[in-house]
Structure formats: C-alpha cells, structure tokens
Amino acid sequence: MGAEALPAEDAPHVLLVDDDTRLAALAGRYLAEQGFRVTRAASAAEARARLRAMEFDLLVLDVMMPGENGLELTHSLRGERAPTTPILLLTARDTPEDILAGFEAGADDYLGKPFDPRVLVARLRAMLRRAHPTAASAAPVQLGEAVFDAGRGELAGPASRVRLTGAELALLSALAARPHEIFSREMLAAALGLDDVNERAIDVQVTRLRRKIEPDPREPRFLQTVRGKGYVLKPGP
C-alpha cells in the first residue's frame, strides 16, 4: 500500500482504509484526479501505522473489515490519534440501525456501497467545509466558562481549546448563528449535510455535542430540547 500521485503539497490528504484493494485503488485514483492526496491502507493496523507517520485532513473507513472493523476503529480514533479529523464510513449495510451505530462511534458521515465516486468527492468536500469554516457566521457566544467563535471554528474553555469533530462544529455553528431559535431535526440534518437520516441520528450528534459544552449533559443548560419541535441554543454565563 502507499500514497497515490500527489496533486499538490497543500491538497487535502485523505486516508482511505478498505481491505478491498481493487475498490480502494479505483477510488484513490479518482480522488487524486479530483485534487486530493490519497494514502491507502488495507486494515485498521495499517491505518494506525499511517496515522503515526502522517497527518490527514479526512479519513474514509470501510466498516466491514476483518479484525478490527471500521466502527471499532472510529470509536478508538476519536479518543486517540484523530479526535477531530472528519471521518466518513463506507458501508454495504446502510439500515438506520447501521447508520446510527456509525454516528454513535463518532463518524461525521456515511456512504453506502456501491457508491458513485462523484458522490464520495462531494461528501468529502462538504466535510472539509464544515470542519474549516472560512468566515464568521455569528458573533461569539458564551457557554458558561467556554466561548464559541464560529468564524474561527473554535470552542475555547477556561484553560484550553475544546476539540470538536467536523459534525460537532457544523452543528454548533448552525445553532450559534441563530441563538434562541428552535431548530427542527430536519434543519439540523441539513446543517450537517445529511439526507435521508432518521431523527435518532441527529439526537446522537446532539448528545455528543452536549458532552463538550454542558457542565452536566444530563441536565443541559445551553443546548436544550424543545419537546415535539427540536433543539435550541441558549447561550449564557
């Protein structure tokens, strides 16, 4: 395994992890043609070795790998080497339950197999935009002892920055742009660039975000549920 031809030194670097070497080679070649740098790995162990050696902007992980599968690897990476790097899962199993399992593990997006490589490129570019906002969409908001600045893509706590995944950043940016306004789950799905996703998937992402911004996620002060309608962000000290 190894790196594809590099389009440019500053091109987004993708780690593509799939034990189907033929599919990975085809997808990697197409991504390279579209301006991505691509490094491939055929297993979770090989992916970990790549992550130790290089920096990546995006991770694309196959779910159904032998040994440590993509869900297990995603869950592990969220607490280790890639706590914020956007992760897209490739899966031939795309039932609502499978999709939820991916989000609960920490994935930002999913794509069912077989897939159109053009859709993969579109999803990856959308993930990059969410992870790296280019302009301020809202004034900084106070969330207790933390301050969220959407323009900088930064949640700063009293002692250090709080690391947000791409999905968490997109979710908080949308809510912070219109504080005190109720967002339906459909609106939040659009902010996350997700389609055809059930309500539970959005609830999972909200739960993950609450762990980052709430003193007690079980009794949320800032990101509140509005029964039957959705969620609302209420900034404050």
Q: Residue 198 has what pLDDT? A: 67
List % helix, strand, coil for the chain (3-state, nearest 5).
Answer: 40, 20, 40
Q: Sign of torsion, CA 187 194 71 154? A: negative
* CATH 1.10.10.10 domain span(s) along the chain: 141-233
pLDDT tens digit sequence for 62-78:
999 999 999 999 999 98
- Measured CA to CA, the distance from residue 223 to residue 232 in angstroms comes to 6
> Residue 235 and residue 237: Cα distance in Å, rounded?
7
The DSSP result for 63-121, as a single string, is SS-SSS-HHHHHHHHHTTT-SSS-EEEEES--SHHHHHHHHHHT-SEEEESS--HHHHH
Q: Tell whether the model's pLDDT for residue 189 goes beyond 80.
A: yes
Q: What is the distance between the alpha carbons of residues 202 and 185, in angstroms, rounded to a whole number?
A: 6
Tell me the fold of 13-131. Answer: Rossmann fold (3.40.50)
Please give the structure tokens belonging to residue 75. Answer: 């869950």
For residues 140 and 149, the answer to whether their CB atoms sit within 8 Å is yes
Q: Please check the confidence at residue 80 and state whether its pLDDT lies above 80.
A: no
CATH 3.40.50.2300 range(s) for the chain read: 13-131
d(CA 204, CA 189): 12
- Which tokens sit at 61? 């992980």
Give tens-digit pLDDT for 21-58: 999 999 999 999 999 999 999 999 999 999 999 999 99
Q: Is the pLDDT of residue 8 over 90?
A: no
Using one digit for the tens of pLDDT, what is the confidence trace for 120-140?
999 999 888 887 765 445 678
Place of tokens 């007690």: 216
Q: What angle do CA 125, 133, 220 make, to 5 degrees?
A: 110
Q: Assign a CATH topology to domain 141-233.
A: Arc Repressor Mutant, subunit A (1.10.10)
